[in-house]
Amino acid sequence: MLGTDVASCDPVILEMPQLLGSGASIVSPWRDEEELRRVLSGLHLAEMLNSAVVGELHSRLGMIIGKWMSELEERDEASPIAKALLSTSKNLSEVSRLLSGRENGFRTSVEIGVTTETVKYLALDPSLDATASAQEFISAFARDAARVAHVSMVAYKALPDRSAERGRPALDWYDDFTALLLDIAKMADVKPTMRKDRISGTRSGWLFEAAQALESFLYPRMRSPSAEACGTRLERSRRRLRQRARQNSRAC
């Protein structure tokens, strides 16, 4: 459930939903929260622009990226260098997130707690430069960790593409992305339409437009290579989500 409106200048404490799959973690999306706010505004979702809502949606996108990274790491075909770069990017991104609990904006209780305890005990370290506070040290470390995480992902992306050798990549994580879009539509009372012109083949509709806009927050290798590929992914994911819903209802 999305949080309620709060002042944007203070950290927001919300309990995060369960992670999307075993071993998955939250990884910083490709674009920041302020850019997400602008994208949501462009989708005519003004009622969803309070800081808590934007922050939680941003974190859910980070969970989806974390799941994608975990799936890549688990593939036997991935090279040791590719696995190491992905792992470095994911782990440093998580370190940066956990040590940013005192920064402005959306923060979970875990992030605030980890940052607070780390700062408290670092302040007891006699080797810490007397001219810098423990909080300043942690803030700088978190920024550096985020920078190296980003560079590690760029380095991974620059590796030779061996996807043809490995076969087509799994897209299970895209079901979670589609579910996020459907959740947004439900909360905003928007019909998640998706159409395809029979003559031109042009795709349109709110769901398709939202997917194209929010895919820009995913890592480049995650994004659909074309508009048609995006529409196909959405159709397949939506079909799988409906099948799971029917199976769950029968199980109950």
Question: Is the pLDDT assigned to residue 142 strictly greater than 50?
Answer: yes
Q: With respect to residue 94, please indicate whether it lies within any of the assigned structural domains.
A: yes
Instruction: Tell me what the mean pLDDT of segment 30-41 comes to.
Output: 89
Smallest Cα–Cα separation from 94: which of 78, 108, 80? Answer: 108
User: Is 3 among the domain residues?
Assistant: no
d(CA 227, CA 162): 23
Whether 7 maps to a domain, the answer reads no
| Mean pLDDT for all residues in the chain | 80
For 122-137, the pLDDT digits (tens) are: 888 888 776 568 888 8
Determine, yes or no, domain membership for 98: yes
| DSSP string computed for 110-147 | HHHHHHHHHHHHHTT-TTS-TTS-HHHHHHHHHHHHHH
pLDDT digits (tens, 9 = 90+) for 176-209: 999 999 999 998 889 999 999 989 989 999 999 9
Is-contact 11 112, C-beta < 8 A?
yes
Instruction: Please count the other Cβ atoms lying within 10 Å of the Cβ belonging to residue 86.
Output: 21
The percentage of the chain sitting over the pLDDT mark of 70, rounded to a whole number, equals: 82
User: Residue 13 pairs with which residues in a beta bridge?
Assistant: 107
User: Is 5 among the domain residues?
Assistant: no
> Nearest-CA neighbor of 64 among 237, 245, 242, 243?
237
Question: Judging by DSSP bridges, how do beta strands 195-196 and 203-204 pair with one another?
Answer: antiparallel
Cα-flanking dihedrals φ and ψ of residue 129, to 5°?
A: -55, 125
pTM score = 0.63
189 occurs within a structural domain: yes
Lowest-confidence region among 85-94, 132-141, 157-166, 197-206:
157-166
In a domain, 4, yes or no: no
The number of folded domains in the chain is: 1
User: Domain of 116?
Assistant: 12-251
Domain assignment of residue 99, yes or no: yes
